[in-house]
Amino acid sequence: MAPRENLVGDDGSRVGKKPTKVLKGMPEYFEIREETEQLETDKCPQYLMMNLETSCPFSCKKCAQPGRNREMGQTLSLDERKNILKIAADIGVRELVIIGAGEPTSPKNFKDVVSPVIESTYKEGMGTILFTTAFGINKEQAEFFRDHDVTVLVSLDSLNPNTYRELTWIGKLTRILENIQILRDTYKNTQEILRDGRKLVRLAINVTIQKGNVDELDTVRNFAGDDMQFIANVPMPEGKLRIYRNWSELVGDGNLEIFSRLAAEKSDTGSHSSVAEGTCSYFKRGISIDSDGQFLTCGYASDSAHYLGNVREGLTRQKLLEHYKEMRKKYEEWCQKIRRRPSCPLRDGEYENFIRSLETGIETKE
Check residue 176 and give its pLDDT: 97
Tell me which of 245 and 211 has the higher pLDDT: 211
The predicted pLDDT at position 85 comes to: 98
Q: Is residue 117 predicted with pLDDT exceeding 90? A: yes
Does the pLDDT at position 240 exceed 60?
yes
Q: What is the pLDDT of residue 196?
A: 82
Where do the domains of the chain lie, and which CATH numbers do they carry? 21-315 (3.20.20.70)
pLDDT higher than 70, residue 172:
yes
What is the pLDDT, as a whole number, of residue 40? 56
DSSP, residue by residue, 23-57: ETTSHHHHHHHHHHH---TTSS--EEEE------S
- Alpha-carbon distance of 84 to 42, in angstroms, equals 21
Higher pLDDT: 42 or 228? It is 228
Nearest to 277 by CA among 20, 28, 39, 25: 28
Largest CA distance in the chain: 54
Q: What is the pLDDT of residue 66?
A: 73
Q: What is the pLDDT of residue 9?
A: 39
In this structure, the chain runs to a length of 366
Taking each continuous run of H as one helix and of E as one strand, the counts in the chain are 13, 13
pLDDT at 167 over 50: yes
- Average pLDDT score over residue span 89-114: 93
| Percentage of the chain modeled with pLDDT above 70 | 89
pLDDT digits (tens, 9 = 90+) for 298-316: 998 888 888 899 999 999 9
Q: Is-contact 227 191, C-beta < 8 A?
A: yes
Answer yes or no: is pLDDT of 121 > 90: yes
